[in-house]
Structure 1
Amino acid sequence: MTAPPAPPIREPAVSAPAVPPALGGAPVGVFDSGLGGLSVLRAIRTALPHEPLLYLADSAHAPYGDKPPTVIQARAAVLLQTLRAAGCKAAVVACNTVTGLSIQALRAQHPGWPIVAIEPAVKPAAQLTHSGIIGVLATRNTVCSPGLARLIATHAAQVRVLTQACPGWVERVERGELDGPDTEAAVAAFVRPLCDAGADVLVLGCTHYPFLRPVIERVAGPRVTVLDPAPAVARELGRQLHAHGLAAPTPAAAAVTFWTSGDPAQVGRVLQRLWPGAPAVLALPGAG
């Protein structure tokens, strides 16, 4: 049982707007190590099309999956502070590695500011499995993170959880290599062993991986369910905005702005494939 991949969202070519003075009209900030978090941004755009969004890709420091935890924690703190200084009314951590390593510390640094974080969909996977075996595809740091360990202990103690690091997948997405024989071979190397071990639900534990979902589903076969937690993040963001009185005041479609700490031209080329019609990518203000 599989679901078709979501169609790409096409954006009008608009220039980056100034941060509106009214708090409800201020943007929601979303960040990831690179462009993988666009899978979360896509879900937010679909669920909350009236919300202005500011996406920050930390491309100069991607990928996060194999970096020391202290480096990732420091980058996450800088990026959240950057989004808050830009006037964002709320933030979304669109990176499972950051969530697993430091979400509690980040929230403690910003009390009262809504921060919604993605995490692997272990709970629904444990509820859906018929074989009693689920697989979690993630980066090395997420696989080893205390956050994932807590999720498994809390929500999947009665099932067998197979965790699988997938080195190289993030880099493929960052290069726009979403299909083809080499990509299929790279996906099969990590997906087939989980399926052969009996996993009938696979959790996408990195926001880059939904862009490989068609290949993952093709390799896994029709009897394996693939779960992406991005829609749940969008729903939680909507709930938080309403609870804090921060929902955008107008139902009109709002603009999306893209920042990167990397090379805007290089990031922009891949962005056009992942988010057709996106406006020009802007360099992250300041030193990045």
Structure 2
Amino acid sequence: MNNSPIGIFDSGVGGTSIWREIHKLLPHENTIYLADSKNAPYGPKGKDRITELSIKNTELLLEKGCKLIVVACNTATTNAIKYLRENYDVPFIGIEPAIKPAALQTKSKAIGILATKGTLSSELFHKTTDLYTNGIKIIEQVGEGLVPLIENGEIDTPEMENLLKIYLKPMLEANIDYLVLGCSHYPYLIPKLKTLLPKHVTIIDSGIAVAKQTASILESLNLSTQEKTSGDCLFYSNGNPEILNEILQDDFLVEGLVF
């Protein structure tokens, strides 16, 4: 099992932001990334449908021999990871908005959270928010329309900039000093966000924390590879593989797959 791959899935290309951090921290591990672009975004879908899609992705990764699965999607984590952990005999690592560090470090006592509808309406999100944000103003914003634009490779477009300006306006009016990105697609917007936000606003995503947790779980379960060569990285997409190629901008093989 030690040389078996780490499986990673997301509702499209966004979870590659999580994959990058995992690959950077654990370069000797084999990885398989699954982009369910055909069904992106997961955010507007109901809990049952999100769970159904997460089951499909999980079973495909298990068929490919994965030793651990990273649910690199905030919406799938908050809606389906409990079911996955209860029904499959493999470790799962989820991703949720990094509310805790923002809440602990804010000086203005106001933080913005940009996320999908599925994440913001989930029970797990509300539990985390209630636990860490007493006395802090939270400005929640559904990033409607952002994921489809990213999935189509339309990051540097006037439409994207206009949407971001609309979504950031109430946050800036509330004097936020932290912006939490609650979708694994959104780190690809950081360069654009930095041009629209004051310099004192810190942007936080969950990629590094997820990578560290992956390393910790592998070590604790004695599942870490002993190989010293660079791991194999495989990517599958049921959408347009060229979009995934553009996002990766590296010499990786992206295969189209029907699932």
TM-score grouping bracket, smaller chain normalisation:
over 0.9
Contact map agreement 1:63 1:171 (CA 8 A) in 2:
yes
In the TM superposition, residue 277 of structure 1 has moved relative to its aligned partner by: 2.4
Q: Deviations over 1:49-86 (max 9, x none)?
A: 11110000111111111112211111101111211121
Paired with 2:75 and 2:68, the residues of 1 have a C-alpha distance of 20
Q: Is 1:247 matched up with 2:220?
A: no
Aligned to 1:54, what secondary structure does the other structure show? strand
Paired with 1:58 and 1:151, the residues of 2 have a C-alpha distance of 27
The counterpart of 2:248, out of the listed 266, 275, 284, is 275
User: How many residues of Structure 1 are paired with residues of Structure 2 in the alignment?
Assistant: 259
Equivalent residue runs for 1:31-42 within 5 Å:
31-42=9-20
- Aligned residue number for residue 114 of structure 2: 137
Paired with 1:42 and 1:52, the residues of 2 have a C-alpha distance of 13
| Percentage of matched positions with identical amino acids | 36
Paired with 2:102 and 2:34, the residues of 1 have a C-alpha distance of 29
Structure 1 residue ranges without an equivalent (≥5) = 1-22
Q: Is 1:28 matched up with 2:20?
A: no
Paired with 2:131 and 2:55, the residues of 1 have a C-alpha distance of 27
Paired with 2:158 and 2:170, the residues of 1 have a C-alpha distance of 18
Aligned to 2:28, what secondary structure does the other structure show? coil
Equivalent residue runs for 1:89-238 within 5 Å:
89-111=67-89, 113-238=90-215
Contact map agreement 1:191 1:216 (CA 8 A) in 2:
no
Paired with 1:100 and 1:275, the residues of 2 have a C-alpha distance of 26
TM-score by length of 2: 0.96
Aligned to 1:246, what secondary structure does the other structure show? coil
Aligned to 1:24, what secondary structure does the other structure show? coil
Query: Which amino acid is 1:250 matched to?
Result: E
TM-score by length of 1: 0.87
Paired with 1:157 and 1:183, the residues of 2 have a C-alpha distance of 33
Paired with 1:207 and 1:248, the residues of 2 have a C-alpha distance of 26
In the TM superposition, residue 88 of structure 1 has moved relative to its aligned partner by: 0.2
Aligned to 1:223, what secondary structure does the other structure show? coil
In the TM superposition, residue 253 of structure 1 has moved relative to its aligned partner by: 1.0
In the TM superposition, residue 138 of structure 1 has moved relative to its aligned partner by: 0.4
- Aligned residue number for residue 72 of structure 1: 50
Contact map agreement 1:134 1:200 (CA 8 A) in 2:
yes
Paired with 1:119 and 1:108, the residues of 2 have a C-alpha distance of 19
In the TM superposition, residue 280 of structure 1 has moved relative to its aligned partner by: 3.3
Aligned to 1:25, what secondary structure does the other structure show? coil
Q: Deviations over 1:248-276 (max 9, x none)?
A: 111211121011233xxx2x211222111
Paired with 2:173 and 2:193, the residues of 1 have a C-alpha distance of 14
Contact map agreement 2:245 2:254 (CA 8 A) in 1:
no
Paired with 1:109 and 1:261, the residues of 2 have a C-alpha distance of 25
In the TM superposition, residue 182 of structure 1 has moved relative to its aligned partner by: 2.5
In the TM superposition, residue 180 of structure 1 has moved relative to its aligned partner by: 3.3
Query: Which amino acid is 1:107 matched to?
Result: R
Aligned to 1:163, what secondary structure does the other structure show? strand
Query: Which amino acid is 2:233 matched to?
Result: V
Query: Which amino acid is 2:166 matched to?
Result: A
Q: Deviations over 1:117-143 (max 9, x none)?
A: 111000001011101111110011111
Aligned to 1:136, what secondary structure does the other structure show? strand
